[in-house]
Amino acid sequence: MINSLTIGEDYEFVIRSGSTFGAGTHKYVTVTNTSNVVIAHGSSPLMVSNIGVASVHIHYSDNVGCDFTEDCHNSQFRLVDTTTQAPGCVTAISPANNAASVPVGTVTFSWTVPTTGDPATSYNMYYGLTADAVTNLVGNFTETEAEITLTGFDTDFYWQIVPVNTGGSPTGCPIWSFTTQEAPGYCLSASSGVYPAATYTPATCDGITENPITTNGWASEYSNINVVSGQTYVFGSSVATDFITISNTDGTTPIVYGTTPLTWVANVTGVVRMYNHADNQCLEQNTARTRYVICGTPSADQPSYVSLQWPPTLTVEAGENGMVYGQVYAAGVTDVAPLSGQGAGIQAWVGISPQGQNTNPSTWTTWVLATINPEHVSNNDEYVASIGGNLAPGTYYYATRFRLNNGPFVYGGINASNAGNTWNGTEFNSGVLTVNSIANDFCSGAIAMTIGTDFATGSVTATNVGGSVTAADPLPGCDAAGFAANGKDIWYSVVVPASGTFTVETRSNGDEDLDDTGIEVYSGTCGALVSEGCNGDISFDDYFSMLEVEDLTPGATVYVRVWGYNGSSGSFDISVYSAATPCTIEAPEGDDEQILEQGQTLADLEVDGNDLTWYSDEDLENEIPETTIVQDGAVYY
């Protein structure tokens, strides 16, 4: 709120950032009276002539739609000097209008002083990427030049200078444009500087090991790396589309550049720079990625024979695993006595294709480490791996992969006669893995649970791997982040106990893939569900879930829905339980000692009570019928 305005004067309302008058990202101003009746509105700076009130409220936003970006800008005002004439527009000096190939980096913008109106006290500079969108305020400058950093190659920039003095600002000032240089093919810029600060020396040079320079690098920085002339290096990023440039120590001359991974045989000994960008246009991204270097020449050793041994096809339920076997032979390695045990230098994996893609295994990225099968004894070593448990329902393909002494990978396949050999895509191919949907993926397939008296007695092991979203079900009432696009829920049914109350709880069973769940209980029927309660986290420290529901109809069937937060999936324990209900039936009454005639039965005893059951022992384990003939001196319960 602004007070003490002089009625009848002219005022200009603008945005202020720090001490710079007229700067800021919020560029739309609305002026109202103290009752929030609009007096005027428009883009900053907003002129209000002959103001009629002494106090106003100022509202500011990014645009006329009232979008708002949170930052440290404040609305300000100033009294317009009606005795001073606003300055005229200026003429651009540099970059010249329509200039081409303007270098990226630090560029000096300059302009003339106004030749009309009274002198300017400062200049607002605006820019945009199209001629009709020059609305981004770069800053307010008191001189007729400014140094601005440009980062985009082959990009059209539009800019405008609006002079300012106490008399106001001119309107309709010209907009100029220029185009930056085309990308040179390499990138020697790094707005975030060097990271990490220390020069990195690869620890392992076997031609295979990825030596991590950083696991939290940005595509806007470089790393210093020690190299040795004649050594082979592979520079890479965990982002497959990143662009790498290797330069001299000072970063002035590119040596080699290209998309990750980039291979180079060093022709210098010393320190080089590894620049990391998001593409060959030197795009910068300040998001984490791993930068690594591989050094050395890999071994040429490889096995003589590999195979996908068994099975040719594999079918599992979502969340379950199946076993895959492969064999390998290397002379002097696998056939050395004793034949049991693992041959030295052999490594083995089973790979899984992307869903539905029967492609060359060498292009796959999912590989499960296989272990030696100790029960197999022959000249071949046999390896086994468990696959499928973390896959969504669908069709996949699998193959084996072997390596000897860190040499090249060799892939194993299987043919139509179930004989294995090196994968070739014609005779010897991949196995086919089918992952079926889980039975309780949908409400209609809900699995019945039995209520226990505590977590342990009501607990079962569950998995939501293979769970999926269905449009027929409502979105969860809590913990629903990412659910609409990637939800993985499963369903259970519960018969409400006589108390009308029970608790649902999830707990970890050690599966690291899932540490956060949500649960919701519904009454009604599938397709017409009514929420009875929802819980995301037990506490700030425990992201599993616990929900107690009350006042339900005894004997009714309700549904329990469980999902992983933000699309996560894995195995966990779930329990439905309710504390035992105290007995409210009165105990039977009768004399402890009674005299009967011979041949009379328990039914002849005088006992008051309902639904009597008789036992021959005080532990009430041996039930007897009421037609039992009583025996002299016997005790009955």
State the Cα torsion 547-548-550-556 to the nearest 10°.
Answer: 70
pLDDT at 21 > cutoff 50: no
Give the C-alpha separation, 314 to 303, whole Å.
26
Is the model's pLDDT at 392 over the cut of 80? Answer: yes
From the list 13, 31, 29, the residue with the least C-alpha distance to 21 is: 13
pLDDT value of residue 629? 87
Q: If pLDDT is split at 50, 70 and 90, which confidence band does 554 have?
A: very high
Q: pLDDT (tens digit, 9 = 90+) per residue, 357-391?
A: 999 999 999 999 999 999 999 999 999 999 998 88
- Assigned domain for 283 exists: yes
How confident is residue 6, by pLDDT bands cut at 50, 70 and 90? confident
* pLDDT for residue 340: 81
User: For the residues 214-224, what does the mean pLDDT come to?
Assistant: 96
> The CATH number of the domain where 485 resides is what?
2.60.120.380
Query: 77 pLDDT exceeds 80?
Result: no
Tally of CA atoms within 13 A in the half-sphere of 482 that contains its CB? 13
Is residue 415 one of the residues assigned to a domain?
yes
Which residues lie closer than 8 Å to 6 by C-beta, 6 or more apart? 51, 54, 79
Burial class for 142, CB neighbours closer than 10 Å (0-12, 13-18, 19+): exposed
- Does 203 fall in a domain? no
Instruction: Give the H or E element holding residue 455.
Output: helix 455-458
For residues 575-590, average pLDDT? 74
Q: Is residue 355 one of the residues assigned to a domain? A: yes
- Rounded CA-CA distance 629/580 in Å is 36
In a shared domain, residues 420 and 537: no
Position 586 in a domain: no
Q: Band the pLDDT of 13: cuts 50, 70, 90.
A: confident
Q: Is residue 193 part of a domain?
A: no
Residue 290 has pLDDT above 60, yes or no: yes
Q: What is the SS3 assignment for 151?
A: coil
- The answer to whether the CB of 169 falls within 8 A of the CB of 162 is yes
pLDDT value at position 610? 78
Query: Is residue 232 within 8 Å of residue 295, measured between CB atoms?
Result: yes
Last residue of a domain, one of 295, 330, 361: 295
Give residue-wise pLDDT tens across range 137-186. 999 999 999 999 887 788 999 999 999 998 889 999 999 999 998 888 89
Buried b (16+ CB within 10 A) or exposed e, 612-624: eebeeeeeeeeee
State the pLDDT confidence band at 615, using cuts at 50, 70 and 90. Answer: confident
Mean pLDDT of 293-320: 93
Q: How confident is the model at residue 350 (pLDDT cuts 50, 70, 90)?
A: very high
Q: Given this model, what pLDDT does residue 420 score?
A: 97
Strands 176-180 and 99-102: parallel
Domain boundary among 249, 270, 295: 295
Whether 347 and 421 map to the same domain: the answer is yes
Same domain, 371 and 389: yes
- C-alpha to C-alpha distances, 555 to 11, 495, 501, 534, nearest whole angstrom: 74, 6, 11, 21
Which pLDDT score, from 0 to 100, does residue 466 have? 84
The one-letter amino acid code at 624 reads: I
> What is the C-alpha to C-alpha distance for residues 374 and 236, in angstroms, rounded to an integer?
38
Token readout for 576 is 């439905």
Q: Higher model confidence: residue 301 or residue 631?
A: 301
Is the peptide bond preceding residue 261 cis, with omega within 30 degrees of 0?
Answer: yes
For residue 174, give the CATH number of its domain.
2.60.40.10
Start-to-end C-alpha separation, the chain = 86
Among 158, 180, 202, give the residue marking a domain's end.
180
Check residue 12 and give its pLDDT.
76
Model confidence at 583, in pLDDT bands (50, 70, 90)? low
- In angstroms and rounded to an integer, the radius of gyration of the C-alpha atoms of the chain is 39
Confidence band for 73, pLDDT divided at 50, 70 and 90: very low
The tally of domains found in the chain comes to 6
Tell me: do 259 and 362 sit in the same domain: no
CB 28, CB 61: distance < 8 Å: yes
Q: Contact 44/13 with Cβ under 8 angstroms?
A: yes
Tens digits of per-residue pLDDT, 393-414?
899 999 999 999 878 899 999 9
Q: Which domain holds residue 332?
A: 305-436
Task: State if pTM tops 0.75.
Answer: no
Q: What is the mean pLDDT of residues 320-348?
A: 93
Q: What is the DSSP string of 225-237?
A: EEE-TT-EEEEEE
Predicted pLDDT of residue 18 = 37
Q: Which pLDDT score is estimated for 187?
A: 92
Residues 429 and 462 in one domain: no
- Average pLDDT score, the chain: 89
Residues 529 and 628 occupy one common structural domain: no
For residue 263, the domain's CATH number is: 2.60.120
Residue, of 497 and 59, whose pLDDT is higher:
497
Residues 557, 530 share a domain: yes
Are 464 and 405 within one domain?
A: no
Token pair for 625: 């019928």
Q: 200 in a domain, yes or no?
A: no
CA distance 438 to 316: 10
Asked if 283 and 392 sit in the same domain, the reply is no
CA–CA gap between residue 541 and residue 448 (Å, rounded): 30
Same domain, 450 and 481: yes
Q: Is 267 helix (H, G, I), strand (E, B) or coil?
A: coil
pLDDT at 517 over 60: yes
Q: Indicate whether 477 and 598 sit together in one domain.
A: no
- For the chain, what percentages of helix, strand and coil (3-state, to nearest 5) are there? 5, 45, 55
pLDDT band at 201 (very low <50, low <70, confident <90, very high): very high
Residues 425, 520 within the same domain: no
Binned at pLDDT 50, 70 and 90, residue 19 comes out as very low
In a domain, 471, yes or no: yes
Whether residue 139 contacts residue 23, with contact meaning beta carbons closer than 8 Å, is answered with yes
